[in-house]
A and B are shown apart, each in its own frame.
Chain A
């Protein structure tokens, strides 16, 4: 077993790093810990930036994920406004090269540089917002309440959550989505239609299969022209996905995923370089169950991978990757999804779609592969276990509210 490293440098100060650093200290790691964050702000959670924080219901303290005072008292060297450019390695000894020319020695490095918002070429300006950082959220939070109408390009999770928050604030919303249904690849056609309906019921002018051709800033707002129409708004939010911040990995000669981007890591989050780990949105982790690398841009994944890295550094066993899970709070609904989408799956519904109180299970080959739920987090907990263990489940039982799904697990264990 490799010895516990004397110095860990974490590049990136988001959820994965915060989780790893807190766990290391809690488990008695007494080596040097350095956290490099390129933003000037105390490390924060991103999920609230399109929800509570955007609506002004949470402030900076509420979203802080790694408290500078805690870092101080736990001997964590938190360096904000610091950008790392490259790692050079000589066997297990590493140097992290900072933008100003400084070099940090490290026995282990955690790459958790995350992703950034994908930009539309030429689409920028005073009334155009891309939402990724807390600075972006502050800008949108300042602009949104005074807007009468906001246009959103992209009905993915960020676009949808901004739409829901804007509606909650009483702002009109027009949302333009390229695909024929929102979250179609994730939810499949039946549930994507339900998702679209939920937004329309809450007053969103959701326009599907829209090809944006031009965006123009006008004296009073923004004009978005599509192939078959146009939207005028006071403000434009562009939410068209994210791009991995893997430049540092590339500059350091670490293998990256040629298609999806992101740093290739094994099931324990180790890159090809000894002692260099990657976790969170940036990491394309080998999933033995799937037989391939998977990159996930969700908070729970960052937490789990940060935990995996801390455990690996402590010489403890690293749990296998679990089914991907995310939540999204929109309007009064608590939405959750777990598992991997599978196009050929049959959808089995438990509960009432019309009442917006249901879980939809994606079943193929007698097993659950994914679940999407509205206000049914308990069913998602059960589904996650059923998916993780590949337990065969009769469809009738899934749809039968009188059968406790966790009892199905217990039956297998008994």
Chain B
């Protein structure tokens, strides 16, 4: 067994080509549903269950550089997982693409929840 370390343990989840057409895809990462999004030419990964009401973000939309939840149209910054005008923050997973294959860090990145009043 490989001992757990502080560094990312990348999990290969899908070829980049699979994300090209619909720009979104739900994958399983170590037993957890993760939503992949292609925004411009960059790949981002969120926990799939929306932090608001648990709807699947992979069923949502990438629109104007934001990930839009299909449940209630919360709009998330793909970099940080911050929702426009909301207090909640979607868990974000680090992503890297190696030889055309998307790899995801199974552990969500820690993002400090910002004071929503400070944001525009």
The yes or no verdict on A and B being binding partners is yes
Interface size for chain A: under 10, 10 to 19, 20 to 34, or 35 or more residues? Answer: 10 to 19
Q: Tell me, rounded to whole Å, the shortest Cβ–Cβ distance linking A302 to chain B.
A: 14
Task: State whether A377 touches B117 (Cβ < 8 A).
Answer: no
User: Are A406 and B63 touching (Cβ within 8 A)?
Assistant: yes
**Interface of B, helix, strand, loop or mixed by DSSP:** loop
- When distances are taken between beta carbons in the complex, the residues of chain A under 8 Å from B68 are 377-378, 381
Beta-carbon contact of A327 and B71 below 8 Å: yes
Q: In the complex, what residue of chain B is closest to A27 when comparing beta carbons?
A: B120
Given contacts A382-B61, A406-B63, contact A376 B70 (CB under 8 A): yes
B120 touches A381 (CB 8 A): no
Please give, as numbers and ranges, the residues of chain B lying within 8 Å of A329 by CB-CB distance. 53, 71
Q: Output the least CB separation between B63 and chain A (Å).
A: 6
Among B23, B62, B72, B120, residue most surrounded by chain A Cβ atoms (within 10 Å): B72
| Bound-complex Cα distance A26 to B85 (A) | 11
Q: Contact at B73–A377, with CB atoms within 8 Å? A: yes
Interface contact A381-B73, CB-CB below 8 Å: yes
CB distance from A187 to the nearest CB of B (A): 19
A/B pair count, beta carbons within 8 Å: 52
Instruction: Give CA–CA (A329, B55) in the complex, Å.
Output: 11
Contacts of B117 in A (CB 8 A): 22, 25-26, 70, 74
Identify 12 new A-B residue pairs, CB closer than 8 A, beyond the known A74-B117, A325-B73: A26-B118, A329-B53, A334-B72, A377-B61, A377-B68, A377-B70, A378-B61, A380-B70, A380-B73, A381-B63, A381-B68, A406-B61
Q: Provide 17 A-B residue pairs closer than 8 Å at the C-beta atoms, listed in order of the A residue.
A: A22-B117, A26-B117, A27-B120, A325-B73, A329-B53, A334-B70, A334-B71, A334-B72, A376-B59, A377-B69, A377-B70, A377-B71, A377-B73, A378-B70, A381-B63, A382-B63, A406-B63
Interface residues of B, Cβ cutoff 8 Å to A: 21-23, 53, 55, 59-63, 68-73, 117-120
Q: Top 4 A-B pairs ranked by shortest CB distance?
A: A377-B70, A378-B61, A381-B61, A334-B71
Q: Which residues of A contact B (CB under 8 A)?
A: 22, 25-27, 70, 74, 325, 327, 329, 334, 375-378, 380-382, 404, 406
